[in-house]
Amino acid sequence: MHTKLSTLAIGLKKCLTPKVVFQELGSLSRQDYLLLAILLVSQVVAFIFSGTFDTMSILSLIVGVVTIMNLILVNRGRLTNFTFGIIATVFWLIVAAQTRLVGDVFSQSYYLIMQFIGIYAWQKDMLSTHKAEVTPKKITMTRAMIAILGFAILYGLVLLTSHHLGGQQIVLDATLLPLAIISQLLMTYGYRSQWIGWLLIDAINVIIWFNTWQSTGNSVFGMFILQIAMLVNAVYGAYIWFHKTAAGEK
């Protein structure tokens, strides 16, 4: 019988063990590797063609590469996605703070905390199912309505806070934290409907970072390309998770 602390400890040990990380990276499908290669190349090309090699550009490249590794593992429900998730959120938090995207700062802070809760929840699921991947779940109508209501309330609060703090692009930026909270919670507990939130977040981020790129210059061009890469990945991830659930229901 595993306690909460022992379950978290098991999950953390796996995430911090290089051998386990490389094993999970080495067990992906050909389609996963193809997408991984395309997305990683897009980040390197964006970094080179940005023409700027300052601290912000380098941070953007690091965020891009690590985030892509995280997303590919999330697609397949692998626990070690959280290894890359922790690294990515720390660096993304720095970039968001430098560009004064208040909503993004809040959302990345939240993501960082949720990485550890996610490790516990996914490890618990895998211990109960005796599988190497988390099991996708279908959300109930009641929980879906609660999620929508929660988003509306949080959006209003973040919008007011962002306005008070002098944030940039606050109407769009304020959507990120509410969507992040809902989507990350759904992801943490293995609900496939998380992908609806990620698709919305990624689409909004494409707009936000395009505007940021236009206003601040090529130092954040890599972040703009990353948003496009994440949107493409979200489509792929949604297909995998919904397909898995549909196959399991047959």
Return d(Cα 32, Cα 30) in angstroms, integer.
5
| Residue of higher predicted confidence among 84 and 93 | 84
Local structure of residue 93 (DSSP, 8 states): H
- Count of residues for the chain? 250
Residue 4 confidence (pLDDT) above 70:
yes
Hunting for tokens 């304020």 — which residue is that?
174
Lowest mean pLDDT, pick from 15-29, 37-51, 62-76: 37-51
Per the model's pLDDT, the better-predicted residue between 35 and 96 turns out to be 35
185-214 pLDDT, tens digit each: 999 889 999 999 999 999 988 988 898 888
Tell me the sheet residues that pair with 137.
191
What CA–CA distance (Å, rounded) separates 122 from 70? 15
Average pLDDT on 58-80 reads: 91
pLDDT of amino acid 250: 45
Residue-level pLDDT at 24: 95
pLDDT in tens, 96-149: 888 777 767 877 888 899 999 999 999 999 999 888 889 888 999 999 999 999
Report pTM. 0.83
Domain contains 25: yes
Residue 58: is its pLDDT beyond 70?
A: yes
Q: How sure is the predictor about 247, in pLDDT bands with cuts at 50, 70 and 90?
A: low
Contact 63, 221 (CB under 8 A): no
Domain assignment present for residue 250? The answer is: no
The predicted pLDDT at position 40 comes to: 93
pLDDT band at 246 (very low <50, low <70, confident <90, very high): low
pLDDT at residue 71 in the model:
92
Angstrom CA distances, 244 to 30, 102, 136, 238, 248, stand at: 17, 36, 7, 10, 6
Number of independent structural domains in the chain: 1
- The domain in which residue 221 lies consists of 4-245
Using an 8 Å Cβ cutoff, are 224 and 206 in contact? Answer: yes
Would 13 be classed as within a structural domain?
yes
